[in-house]
Amino acid sequence: MAGRFAQRPTRTTVRGGQVAVPPGVPRQATGPGRVRAWMPDGPLDIGLVLGPLRRGPGDPTFRATPDGSVWRTSLTPAGPGTLRVCAYGGGVRGEAWGPGAEWLLEGLPELLGAADDPSAFVPRHRLLASARHRRPGLRLTRSRLVLESLIPSILEQKVTTDEAYRAWRLLVRKFGEPAPGPASARMYVMPAPRTWALIPSWEWHRAGVDDKRASTILRAVRVAARLEQAVGMEPGAARARLELVPGVGPWTSAETVQRSHGAADEVTVGDLHLPGIVGWALAGDRDADDAVMLELLEPYAGQRHRAARLILLSGRVPARRAPKMPRWDIGQL
């Protein structure tokens, strides 16, 4: 019976980057767009690879459609663009629209994990071996864009994911621009750095973003060009540059380079839940802290982020012992 039905995603597997991409025959999108076909050199699960780039089910920059396609919008160095990715003929078909179309298609292989090497991971725990066996198409994406991962990561600081997703959704829809091409009318491209800098204080307040996080975003967009240059650096050096911005710490920098660089070893520290999840999965220790987590992940040096993702995707988490963190809507104060 277990093999007859798809496993339902849990909050933990969703956090691990699981996006349900419905099976279906991709339809030809209306409107002229640039097209690129690419053949991966191994198993590829588009939903798993691109899942970490989605910020909640209502993310206006990301959508999985019933025909089996994943749509993304990005503010590229060449301008806004929309990308549609789907499995087609044993490979992958990418279509793009807007000024950033060429840039998006050029980076399609890296976006889908071509620069990643899953064979470098050697599981040393039964749980991880089982998770990798059940997720053969997992690869680490490399978006080549820093701000599109940094800003939502800052919004996620010290609040629940629901609050952060709501803030991202409201701000992008209000201050972003409609997605180019035949994308859904509810899809938008994230605002440009100057637009972020000009958002009035009361709009941050209405979106539920406190002054500390808003100020950190404003400081980041003022040096946006320097931060985007970090894509050409090694992950460690890129994190060091990001952390020069006051308000950006190890948690935020790790969450960013995991997506922008496809960094297989940059494990997130300072997280409220991850140490306990890793400790419980690998050692039955639900009270593990960052030091214990890093010690448990030491056998996977060079692949610690991949190991953490596989643990999250396994769904093995300790039972809750306390109420959920309360939600606070500062926009109602």
pTM: 0.91
At the topology level, CATH places domain 34-124 in TATA-Binding Protein (3.30.310)
Model confidence at 1, pLDDT cuts 50, 70, 90, reads very low
**Residue 3, pLDDT above cutoff 50:** no
- Joined together, the tokens standing for residue 167 give 């803030």
**What pairing do the DSSP bridges indicate for beta strands 69-76 and 62-64?**
antiparallel
**Residue 4, pLDDT above cutoff 60:** no
Instruction: Concatenate the DSSP letters of all residues of 79-111 into one string.
Output: EEEEEEEEEETTEEEEEEESTTHHHHHHTHHHH
Q: Are 313 and 131 spatial neighbours (Cβ–Cβ below 8 Å)?
A: yes
**Residue 44, pLDDT above cutoff 70:** yes
Which pLDDT does position 170 carry in this prediction? Answer: 98
Ranges of each domain in the chain: 34-124, 267-316
Euclidean distance between the first and the last CA atom of the chain, given in angstroms as a whole number: 51
**Amino acid residing at 63:** R
Model confidence at 12, pLDDT cuts 50, 70, 90, reads low
pLDDT digits (tens, 9 = 90+) for 260-296: 999 999 999 999 999 999 999 999 999 999 999 999 9
Total Cβ atoms within 10 A of residue 137:
15
The residue-averaged pLDDT of 75-99 equals 96
